[in-house]
């Protein structure tokens, strides 16, 4: 079992021994560290933190531990209960809160959970803040409140609707055009928060919705990472229902993938490409994605006269560069849409609304829209790590071997070849090395990934 402590929060598997897994002791420790950090940011008499969770089975337990720890530190809590990651991000500034915590392990299986930490802007913490919290947790330097100074918990279940209100108020979301188009859509909510939030949004937009796995039980019906190999049910349902397309989200609704009307994958990489194409056609500007994202975004951006920039992997890195480059749209190729007009966070709900508007203005089917974009194919594979492996040494070996290709070391090792690329990096959320490749065909992308799996295994002595 596993506990991963990083600058972006704490993530682990439920059960087992403290310090090695995400146990109640670990949840309390890191909630207290975060609460301590919140109080260090500025001295005031009334602190407030927004807390929400996805539908994981462990969610209510972890959330109670976290909230009770915060009120024990004299911090008031706004309890959103079942929510989405972007909804919590939107709620923090709307509540004028000092921060937020989302209890979710995103795309990880049900045995995982995590504390994802936000600042007062509703954005993920930067590296410096994250390290401060790790240091506080390590030193156990906590100061709890006296009995007359305990915080309070106030429940507020309105924020999914308020989040949707904010989306519908955006200039580039055309609800009337969407309603007029008369779309029929299948939604796979992976039995988590998206099963509630996505149909709420679609109902407001006049979209006929067929629900698949939309009961927020936390019993994920398939691997919750929205990849082709996990999505056979919705691919079949889109065809059987004669739907215009399918929508797939991960458990906390910050990753978004589409299924075309013929049951084929639109491609999670192309979620951002399609939304960017629409945004850039209305508001010229720059775009940002991470190093593991498709070249197609670069091509679309340049077609519209903008500049494309690549950041290190991680939402906070993308957001930082988006602000630096004044990007009008950005995100990550895993289906994460960041639209600054709403907020600086990956948001499947705003992605759905913008995609529906784009599609409503077209005379194309979803598969025809996909075919209109530059054609690249990605392979996403991984190697499981063991504690004794010198991962940095292995990646250094790859860098040395391909020195003539001028590989990037901004985040792991990325090697750009003439018509393809490979990106190798340690995961921030799992004990693995991720191998991402892109090439002109699926077969070439898979072959390139398999080649580097072999080279990594050889260097590791596996």
332 shares its domain with 436? no
* C-alpha to C-alpha distances, 39 to 47, 55, 93, 456, nearest whole angstrom: 7, 29, 17, 45
Classify 26 in phi/psi space as left (phi over 0), alpha (psi -120 to 50) or beta.
Answer: alpha
pTM value?
Answer: 0.92
C-beta separation of 451 from 393 below 8 A: no
Active site residues per annotation = 106
d(CA 108, CA 397) in angstroms, rounded, equals 30
Boundaries of domain holding 89: 3-157
CA distance 22 to 270: 34
Rounded CA-CA distance 237/225 in Å is: 18
pLDDT tens string, the chain, 462 residues long: the values are 568 887 678 999 999 999 889 999 999 999 999 999 999 999 998 999 999 999 999 999 999 999 999 999 999 999 999 999 999 999 999 999 999 999 999 989 999 999 999 999 999 999 899 999 999 999 998 999 999 999 999 999 999 999 999 999 999 999 999 999 999 999 999 999 999 999 999 999 999 999 999 999 999 999 998 888 999 999 999 999 999 999 999 999 999 999 999 999 998 889 999 999 999 999 999 999 999 899 999 999 999 999 999 999 889 999 999 999 999 999 998 899 999 999 999 999 999 999 999 999 998 999 999 999 999 998 989 888 777 778 888 899 999 999 999 999 999 999 999 899 999 998 766 778 899 999 999 999 999 999 999 999 888 776
User: Structural domain tally of the chain?
Assistant: 3
**pLDDT, tens only, 305-334:** 999 999 998 899 999 999 999 999 999 988
Asked if 148 and 182 sit in the same domain, the reply is: no
Rg (CA), the chain: 22
pLDDT at residue 388, rounded to an integer: 74
Secondary structure (DSSP) of 306-342:
--EEEE-SSHHHHHHHHHHHTEEEEEETTTEEE-TTT
Residues 86 and 14 in one domain: yes
Residue 300, CA distances (Å) to 229, 272, 288 in order = 27, 10, 12
Q: Is the dihedral of CA 167, 168, 172, 176 positive or negative?
A: positive
Domain boundary among 344, 371, 398: 371
Q: How many CB atoms are closer than 10 A to CB 229?
A: 8
pLDDT at 96: 98
One domain, residues 133 and 225: no
Q: What is the CATH number of the domain that holds 126?
A: 3.40.120.10
Helix, strand counts (H, E) of the chain: 15, 19
Are 41 and 189 found together in one domain? no
- Given this model, what pLDDT does residue 141 score? 85
Shared domain check, 264 and 383:
no
Could you tell me if 242 and 184 are in contact, meaning their C-beta atoms sit under 8 angstroms apart?
A: yes
179 and 327 fall within a common domain: yes
Query: How far, in Å, are 63, 244, 414, 426, 450 from residue 458 at the CA level?
Result: 43, 46, 19, 17, 12
Q: Are 105 and 67 within one domain? A: yes
User: How far, in Å, CA of 222 to CA of 117, rounded?
Assistant: 27
CATH number of the domain residue 433 falls in: 3.30.310.50
Q: What is the pLDDT of residue 391?
A: 83
Q: Is the same domain home to 171 and 189?
A: yes
Pairwise CA distance, residues 138 & 25, whole Å: 13
Q: Are 331 and 268 within 8 A, CB to CB?
A: no
Of 125, 157, 189, the one marking the end of a domain is 157
> 41-52, pLDDT tens digit by residue?
999 989 999 999
What are 162's two structure tokens?
A: 């308020």
3-class SS at 245? strand
Q: Verify that 456 and 399 share a domain, yes or no.
A: yes
pLDDT of residue 462: 65
Residues 170 and 135 in one domain: no
Among 317, 348, 371, the domain-final residue is 371
Give the model's pLDDT for residue 428: 67
The CA-based diameter of the chain, rounded to the nearest angstrom, is 67
Question: Quick check: helix, strand or coil at residue 35?
Answer: helix
Given strand 286-290, what is the order of strands in its sheet?
308-311, 286-290, 327-332, 336-338
Residue 148 and residue 208 in one domain:
no
């Amino acid at each position: 079992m596993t506990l991963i402590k990083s600058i972006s929060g704490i993530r682990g598997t439920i059960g087992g021994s403290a310090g090695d897994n995400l146990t109640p002791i670990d949840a309390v420790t890191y909630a207290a560290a975060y609460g301590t950090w919140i109080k260090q940011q500025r001295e005031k008499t009334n602190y407030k933190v927004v807390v929400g969770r996805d539908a994981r089975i462990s969610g209510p337990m972890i959330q109670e531990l976290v909230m009770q720890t915060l009120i024990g530190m004299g911090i008031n809590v706004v309890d959103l209960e079942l929510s989405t990651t972007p909804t919590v991000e939107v709620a923090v500034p709307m509540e004028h809160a000092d921060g937020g915590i989302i209890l979710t392990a995103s795309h990880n299986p049900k045995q995982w959970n995590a504390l994802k930490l936000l600042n007062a802007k509703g954005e993920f913490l930067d590296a410096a803040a994250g390290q401060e919290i790790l240091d506080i947790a390590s030193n156990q330097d906590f100061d709890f409140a006296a009995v007359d100074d305990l915080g309070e918990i106030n429940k507020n279940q309105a924020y999914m609707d308020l989040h949707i209100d904010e989306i519908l108020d955006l200039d580039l979301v055309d609800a009337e055009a969407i309603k007029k188009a008369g779309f029929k859509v299948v939604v796979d909510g992976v039995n988590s928060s998206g099963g509630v939030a996505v149909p709420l949004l679609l109902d407001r937009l006049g979209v006929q919705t067929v629900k698949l796995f939309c009961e927020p039980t936390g019993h994920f019906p398939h691997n919750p990472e929205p990849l082709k190999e996990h999505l056979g049910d919705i691919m079949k349902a889109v065809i059987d229902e004669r739907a215009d397309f399918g929508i797939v989200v991960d458990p906390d609704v910050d990753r978004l993938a589409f299924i075309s009307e013929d049951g084929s994958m639109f491609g999670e990489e192309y979620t951002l490409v399609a939304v960017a194409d629409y945004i850039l056609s209305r508001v010229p500007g720059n775009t940002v994605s991470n190093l593991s994202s498709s070249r197609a975004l670069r091509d679309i951006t340049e077609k519209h006269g903008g500049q494309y920039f690549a950041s290190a992997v991680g939402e906070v890195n993308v957001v930082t560069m988006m602000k630096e480059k004044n990007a009008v749209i950005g995100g990550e190729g895993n289906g994460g849409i960041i639209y600054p007009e709403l907020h600086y966070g990956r948001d499947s709900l705003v992605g759905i609304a913008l995609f529906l508007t784009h599609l409503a203005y077209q005379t194309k089917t979803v598969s025809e829209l996909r075919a209109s974009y530059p054609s690249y194919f990605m392979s996403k594979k991984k190697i499981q790590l063991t504690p004794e492996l010198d991962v940095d040494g292995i990646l250094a070996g790859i860098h040395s071997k391909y020195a003539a290709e001028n590989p990037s070391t901004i985040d792991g090792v990325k090697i750009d070849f003439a018509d393809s690329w490979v990106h190798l990096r340690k995961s921030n959320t799992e004990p693995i090395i991720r191998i991402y490749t892109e090439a002109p065909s699926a077969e070439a992308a898979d072959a390139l990934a398999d080649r580097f799996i072999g080279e990594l295994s050889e260097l590791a002595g596996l």
